[in-house]
Amino acid sequence: MLAGVAGGLADSFGVPDAYVRAAFVSLAAVWGLGALVYLALWVVTFDRVDDVEVDLVAPRRAAGLAIAFLGLILLFGVIGLWPNPALVLTISALSFGTAALADGSRVGPLTALLDSDVEKPSRARLLIGGLLLVVGLYFLGSTVGRLFEVGAVLLAIAITGLGIAVGFGPWVRRLLSDLGEERKERIRQEERAEVAAHLHDSVLQTLALIQRSEDPTRMALLARHQETELRDWLYGTAPLAGVDMVSTALKQIAAKVEEDHGVRVELVTVGDHVLDESSRALTAAATEALVNAAKHSGASPVSLFFEAEDGWLSIYVTDQGKGFDVTAIPSDRRGIAQSIRSRMEKVGGSAEISSQPGDGAEVVVRVAAS
């Protein structure tokens, strides 16, 4: 009736529990082994009493181990290693005294004690816990002078520990788990606040702008810009500070041109390369070509294709717009064409501009990969 082990065994074997209990008591009376076996069974057969409360397992295991330890000490006493056999009787008295408090419930008083409501600590629990504490401390005090009796000291410690576990275990456990819960909740709230702040600064602002906008092109552009931004935020593809790869730089350039000039830029990259002197010149030249196409071609989308292959870096800026006669480049475009060429020549690369009136235009810039 201590923890329901006898009842459980009786159920399993189909004999009345009274006999099982009698067997345990007899064993305990003769060798102290009954108690040991009982405690071991209690520790092992958690499931049997788990219908009481699931997260009772941890403190009960602790208490169980403490009691098993106590039983071990008892065993030392029984086999004669312990000079004070009177203590054995004291322990038996204590153990079965506790058992005597049993109210006949299936789970037994000890388990019930650990299970007790934390907010309203039951008197019985405090009483028994306190009692065990006092007994433990008493033994500790009375054995300080006889330090050789290690067993007694250990017993005292064990009983003290058990007392603390029984008396305050559930409370400490609840306290600890409450702290953990609070911390988790705080982290959750911080994350939520961060997401809310981001959505407010970006998506909500954009939605407000779209509602106020009368111009469908502008609306589409805002939506497109927001889409790029949100995508980067969600998938973490845009480390805005410290751009060090060509593909990342191109992504930012494309987004900027979309925003500034109201055209869509279809960016495709194959492979990648670090930003060094020549690839910087390459992207700068491509940016000029892209801005030029966005301003003058009248086409949307403008394609921006980057490829790093076979030791070469190439960027193609292609539009399907109105085009122009390359041999008679209008004066406002000559500067750009020259600037693109000279940029590429400086780093040992090349630039090629091809177009025909009415059939789009393409600028190809190329440089050897370093």
Partner 1 sequence: MIIDVYLVDDHRLFLSGVKAELATEFRIVGSAHDADTAIGEIRALHPDVVLVDVHMPDGGGIAVVEGVTQTNPGVSFLALSVSDLAEDVIAMIRAGARGYVTKTISPADLVDAVRRVHAGDAVFSPRLAGFVLDAFAGAIPADSDHDFDQLTPREKDVLRLIARGFAYKQVARKLNISVKTVESHVSSVLRKLQLSSRHELARWATKRRIV
The values of phi and psi at residue 320, to 5°, are -105, 35
Q: How many other C-beta atoms are found inside a 10 Å radius of the C-beta of residue 232?
A: 16
287: left (phi over 0), alpha (psi -120 to 50) or beta: alpha
Contact call for residues 327 and 368 (beta carbons, < 8 A): no
- 3 state SS of 152: helix
Residue ranges in 123-162 that form contacts with partner 1 under rule CB under 8 A? none
Cα gap 252→240, rounded to integer Å: 8
Tell me whether residue 54 or residue 241 sits nearer to partner 1 (CB atom): 241
Quote the least distance from Cβ 286 to partner 1, whole Å: 13
Quote the least distance from Cβ 271 to partner 1, whole Å: 6
The values of phi and psi at residue 360, to 5°, are 70, -175
Q: Which residues of 74-111 are buried (b: 16+ CB within 10 A; e: fewer)?
A: bbbbbeeebeeeebbeebbebbeebbebeeeeebbbbb
Q: Which position among 271, 298, 335, 357 is part of the footprint of partner 1 (CB under 8 A)?
A: 271
Cα gap 32→30, rounded to integer Å: 6
206 binds partner 1 (CB under 8 A): no
- Judged by CB under 8 A, the number of residues near partner 1 is 20
Tell me whether residue 50 or residue 266 sits nearer to partner 1 (CB atom): 266
Tell me whether residue 242 or residue 330 sits nearer to partner 1 (CB atom): 242
Fill in the DSSP letter of residue 327.
Answer: G
The binding track of 290-309 with respect to partner 1, each residue x by CB under 8 A or -, is: -----------xxx-x-x-x
Tell me whether residue 11 or residue 309 sits nearer to partner 1 (CB atom): 309
DSSP 245-306: BHHHHHHHHHHHHHHHH---EEEEEES--B--HHHHHHHHHHHHHHHHHHHHT--SSEEEEE
Q: Which position among 86, 214, 216, 235 is part of the footprint of partner 1 (CB under 8 A)?
A: 235
**Given the rule CB under 8 A, which of 33-41, 65-73, 109-117, 312-320 is the region that contacts partner 1?**
312-320
Tell me whether residue 217 or residue 237 sits nearer to partner 1 (CB atom): 237
The binding track of 209-228 with respect to partner 1, each residue x by CB under 8 A or -, is: ---------------x--x-
Quote the least distance from Cβ 209 to partner 1, whole Å: 19
Strand-by-strand arrangement of the 361-368 sheet: 265-270, 302-309, 312-319, 361-368, 350-355
Tell me whether residue 121 or residue 301 sits nearer to partner 1 (CB atom): 301
**Given the rule CB under 8 A, which of 23-31, 80-88, 203-211, 261-269 is the region that contacts partner 1?**
261-269
User: Do β-strands 302-309 and 265-270 pair in parallel, antiparallel, or remain unpaired?
Assistant: parallel
Tell me whether residue 197 or residue 268 sits nearer to partner 1 (CB atom): 268
**Given the rule CB under 8 A, which of 58-66, 169-177, 311-319, 325-333 is the region that contacts partner 1?**
311-319
Tell me whether residue 86 or residue 235 sits nearer to partner 1 (CB atom): 235
* Helix boundaries (H) for the chain: 5-13, 17-31, 33-44, 46-49, 57-78, 86-100, 109-115, 123-143, 150-199, 205-212, 216-235, 246-261, 277-296, 331-346
Residue ranges in 328-367 that form contacts with partner 1 under rule CB under 8 A? 362
Quote the least distance from Cβ 20 to partner 1, whole Å: 53
Q: Which position among 160, 206, 269, 355 is part of the footprint of partner 1 (CB under 8 A)?
A: 269
Residues that bind partner 1 (CB under 8 A): 224, 227, 235, 237, 266, 268-271, 301-303, 305, 307, 309, 316, 318-320, 362
